[in-house]
A and B are shown apart, each in its own frame.
Chain A
Amino acid sequence: MKSIRFRTRLMLSFWVILILSSCIPAYYIFQTLENDIYKEAKTNAFTQLDFIHWILAGKPVDKNNQAFYQLDQWCKEVAKQLNYRITVIAAGGKVIADSDVAYDKIKSMDNHASREEIINARKSGQASSIRYSITLKRKLIYAAKNISLANVPSGVLRVAIPLSTVESRLGYFSRQFLGILFVIFIISTLLSVFLARRLEKPILDIIQAANAIGEGNFDKQLDIETGAEFSQLSACINEMSNKIQQHIQQIIEQKQELEAVLEGMVEGVMLLDKYGKIKATNQALTWIAKCVPSCVGRRPMEVFLNPEIQESCNRILEGKDAIKRKVEIDNETIYEVNLVKIPDGGAVVVFHDISELVRLEKIRQDFVANVSHELRTPLTSIKGYAETLLDEKFRASDQSESFIKTIVKNADQMANIVNDLLELTKLQQQQKKTLQMSEINASACFSAAWETCMLMLKEKQIQVDNRMPDSVHVMAIDNSLIQVFRNLLDNAIRHSPSGTKITVFAEIGSEVVIFGVADEGTGIPQLHQKRIFERFYRVDKERSRDSGGTGLGLSICKNALTGMGGKIWVKSPPDDQLNGSVFCFTLNTPMPVESL
């Protein structure tokens, strides 16, 4: 039933209605018509019969042997006039006269006593019946009447009138009727097809529109004019499509906002499903994750290779509400990991990078420890020697002078430290203001710094290979630049073995000039390279204090350069060398005059 098309169904129902509405009345009308025609035929037959009976009553009587013969002749005569078949049947049922049968054959005719009309006529005087006559091969109406006349032997008089006229009328009617019915059938079929088409089109349109909506194409608008219901339905569908579009748009916007928020976060965020697999991540997390191309669908363990994270995730999935813990990944970055359970049985994990905080905290702690250590060391020896000198006996000895010299040396060292610290503070404060820089020749600044170091260079027999051009113009403050060169040279001399060489060079670029001071000393382990620019940070705590220096030189360099818009870094060992180190820094070239 389901698979029958709407069109076919409509057509079939049309047909059923048609058959019911036309055939039943038609049948009823035919029936009545037939009855009426038969009734009329019967009445007519009886009238004829009565008329013949009256004629028969007036027939002269023949008392001779020829009586039957004469009766038969009479029958034939009357029948010729009236064009009916007239039969006279004796009381026993034997035919004694018949208009349509020759006289000599009458004797061989069947006994008619069992005929319906004869039996009934005997009972009630007159009767009729309609039968198909085999003799005449047509339908006839028979009317019979009892006769008890003086001139004729008693029996039954019968008239047979053909029904063919009546029949042909009925046949004509029914042919007409069937013809009309057939035409109506064709018309109704066409009508049903046409109607179905008209109904089908909007339905197909609606199906198409609904499909389009299902596929996410909301631009298609339905426009159906056929019928109030359809236009209402199409309006409903259009509105539904608009609403769905709005909702989807809203959801998409919300999703995009959320994604933008997530992507914009510095913290790595990851969503776990209830099986402990990663459902979604943001961009920041993929940087934390260990180079796995796609984190989604994997376990946290596979992505981070960190047992603590996996263990925390497991605990959250087993039912704990929230966990916060510090996790170190790859021995270098420290994350504060926050895990929160979400209602549908997953978890949100947020990675907050706190390595910078930890590093700064470490620098602060180290600074306090270092500064006190740096100041205490000379102070201890000053105190020791001064106490010894308090002894009058000792004061008189030859050693007292060298003791006082040591005290002075240590006091100088302390003064240097305090001066450097002040210098550093000044530089750090300067950074906040804009500095008044001018175009200066860096080469001249280096020469100035070089001169101050001449004594140390001579003592350690170190050569300086100056590969700088004679004029290198940069934007800087001359005192600060001299200080930077002096500090770097000073460091290079102190960390170089005797008899080695220090190379100074400059690479002039379009925007910046890169300066380099390279030595052939012991070099700096990579581990310390990031931290040597911190205040008082020392690579080798025991040794470098012997070689002098305040532990602030590089820190001053860094601050001075940052103030002048430059950068400083170290490479140890330099490219293509096995040992030694090179300190490089940049300064901006003077801006072309036009752009000023």
Chain B
Amino acid sequence: MERNFIKELDDLKMTLLNMAALTHRAFGKATQAYLKRDETLARTVIAGDREINNLELKIDQIVLKLLALEQPMARDLRFILGATKISKELERIADQAVNIAERSLFLCQHPPLAHLPAMEQLIEVTDAMLDAAITSFVEDDTQKAIKLRQMDDIADKHTLEVLQALINNMVKSTPGAEKRILNTQRSIQTIIISRCLERVGDLATNIGEHVAFIVEAINIKHQKIDFE
């Protein structure tokens, strides 16, 4: 009985890590699809979402079984509850990746906008955040999880920079009505991508909060944390 419980817990962790790996990859591919203007990459992201959704269902199933049959205690209980929460966040991140891929598909089919350094920085930060969120879970590293909040502030800053740059781009007078419409369309799609990236940052921060809950049994949600 006891061994079985441990095996089930291990199974849950493995499934969650699998989901995290796939989500991270989907996110990476989606951003690459945007940067490289690669349609095939964007399509693989959209097609791969189903697998991640299935993994979420599988995690729900394992969690329900564990809660119903084993009466877990203390850390095991927190881990099981945390696992459902984290899987939920991962599923949303994967959805955002699909969103980015869809916007990128549109952008690939049209001439590129001017190069946006802020967007590259935003992608870099959100990718680092997602990576930190997942490794904090693997390593039980609460400090890393808490630091995600700082990174989130940077991500928000870059999102605003992208927004400002694209508003400038739209306001800038472009000769010809047709070109103007195209310019606005592309700008808005890119703004949506930046918005998706910002959401990924928030969700990664949430994962960090769940990790803190699992490891330290503390709730850092909606609280001010002194980083010193």
B-binding residues in A (CB < 8 A) = 290-293, 299, 301-302, 305-307, 310, 330-331, 522-527, 540, 542, 572-573, 578-579
Contacts and interface: CB of A to CB of B under 8 A. Distances in A.
Given A524-B115, A578-B117, A293 B21 contact: no
Given A301-B17, A331-B32, A524-B115, 15 more contacts: A290-B131, A290-B138, A292-B135, A299-B14, A301-B14, A305-B20, A305-B138, A307-B22, A330-B28, A331-B28, A331-B29, A526-B120, A542-B111, A578-B117, A579-B117
Interface string B1-42: 000000000000010011011101100110010011000000
B197 to A, nearest CB: 15
A301 B21 contact: yes
Nearest to A306: B21
A360 to B, nearest CB: 19
Helix, strand, loop or mixed for chain A's interface? loop
23 contacts: A290-B131, A290-B135, A290-B138, A291-B135, A292-B135, A301-B18, A305-B17, A305-B21, A307-B21, A307-B22, A330-B28, A331-B25, A331-B32, A524-B115, A525-B35, A525-B120, A526-B120, A527-B35, A527-B36, A573-B117, A578-B117, A579-B115, A579-B117
B205 to A, nearest CB: 19
Contacts of B73: none
Contacts of B24: 305
Interface string B101-140: 0000000000110110110100000000001001100110
A293 B135 CA distance: 11
Counting chain B CB atoms within 10 Å of each CB, the highest count among A307, A522, A523 belongs to A307
B115 A310 contact: no
Nearest to A298: B138
B115 A523 contact: yes
A573 to B, nearest CB: 5
A316 B32 CA distance: 32
A550 B36 CA distance: 23
Interface residues of B, number: 25
Interface of B: 14, 17-18, 20-22, 24-25, 28-29, 32, 35-36, 111-112, 114-115, 117-118, 120, 131, 134-135, 138-139
B17 A302 contact: yes
A527 B115 CA distance: 11
B117 A523 contact: yes
A316 B28 CA distance: 29
A302 B115 CA distance: 36
B50 to A, nearest CB: 15
A130 B35 CA distance: 134
Contacts of B14: 299, 301, 310
A160 to B, nearest CB: 97
A522 B21 contact: no
Nearest to B55: A307
B117 A302 contact: no
Nearest to A303: B138
A572 B139 CA distance: 35
A138 to B, nearest CB: 91
Contacts of A302: 17, 138
Q: Which of A292, A305, A330 has the most CB of B within 10 A?
A: A305
Contacts of A290: 131, 135, 138
A574 to B, nearest CB: 10
A333 to B, nearest CB: 12
B168 to A, nearest CB: 11
B138 A292 contact: yes
A301 B32 CA distance: 23
Nearest to B141: A293
B35 A307 contact: no
Contacts of B120: 525-526
A325 to B, nearest CB: 16
Nearest to B134: A305
Contacts of B111: 542
A115 to B, nearest CB: 95
Nearest to B161: A578
A306 B17 CA distance: 9
Nearest to B165: A578
A357 B106 CA distance: 33
